[in-house]
């Protein structure tokens, strides 16, 4: 079951990433991304995986030590649990980046590589987007003052 849940985690979130990267201006993409529920699939998988090992996980995260944490993550359950956690968080961050990019009218060809980096290496994608956001927000701020938007 753990292997199935591990495989299912990515399969359930990939369509959301595909929409944000490949069809960013499609009206349904924005409607879907505006729902916080898009992170629900990996969260449900995380909960299903964590419940049977909850006491062990709570002990690991309340008194973190590298050795025991590494040992747990080396198990199928530990790896699948961390995978679901990472993908849920990456999608949540990617969703926010996508929505901000639409608000700021960032060109999709600028955002697509940033979102790809985020799905693969989220901690590297976020600062890239924050720079883009800062630049675009500064450019749009003058118009917002004039138009009131």
Q: Is the pLDDT of residue 72 over 90?
A: yes
Q: Is the pLDDT of residue 119 over 70?
A: yes
Taking the CA atoms of residue 79, residue 85, residue 86 and residue 88 in that order, the dihedral angle to the nearest 10 degrees is 140
Burial class of residue 81, CB neighbours in 10 A (0-12, 13-18, 19+): buried
How many whole angstroms separate alpha carbon 149 and alpha carbon 145? Answer: 7
Say which residues have a Cβ less than 8 Å from residue 41's Cβ, sequence separation at least 6.
Answer: 9, 12, 13
- Does the pTM exceed 0.75? yes
For 26-70, the pLDDT digits (tens) are 999 999 999 989 999 999 999 999 999 999 999 999 999 999 999
């Amino acid at each position: 079951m753990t292997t199935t849940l591990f495989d299912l985690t990515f399969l359930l979130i990939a369509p959301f990433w595909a929409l944000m990267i490949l069809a960013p201006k499609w009206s349904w993409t924005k409607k879907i991304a505006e729902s916080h529920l898009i992170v629900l699939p990996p969260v449900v998988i995380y909960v299903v995986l964590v419940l049977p090992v909850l006491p062990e996980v709570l002990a690991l995260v309340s008194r973190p030590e590298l050795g025991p944490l590494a040992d747990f993550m080396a198990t199928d359950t530990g790896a699948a649990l961390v995978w679901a956690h990472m993908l849920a968080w990456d999608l949540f961050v990617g969703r926010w980046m996508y929505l901000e990019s639409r608000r700021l009218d960032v060109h999709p060809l600028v955002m697509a590589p940033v979102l790809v980096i985020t799905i693969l290496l989220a901690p590297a994608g976020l600062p890239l987007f924050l720079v883009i956001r800062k630049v675009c927000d500064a450019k749009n701020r003058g118009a917002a003052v004039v138009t009131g938007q």
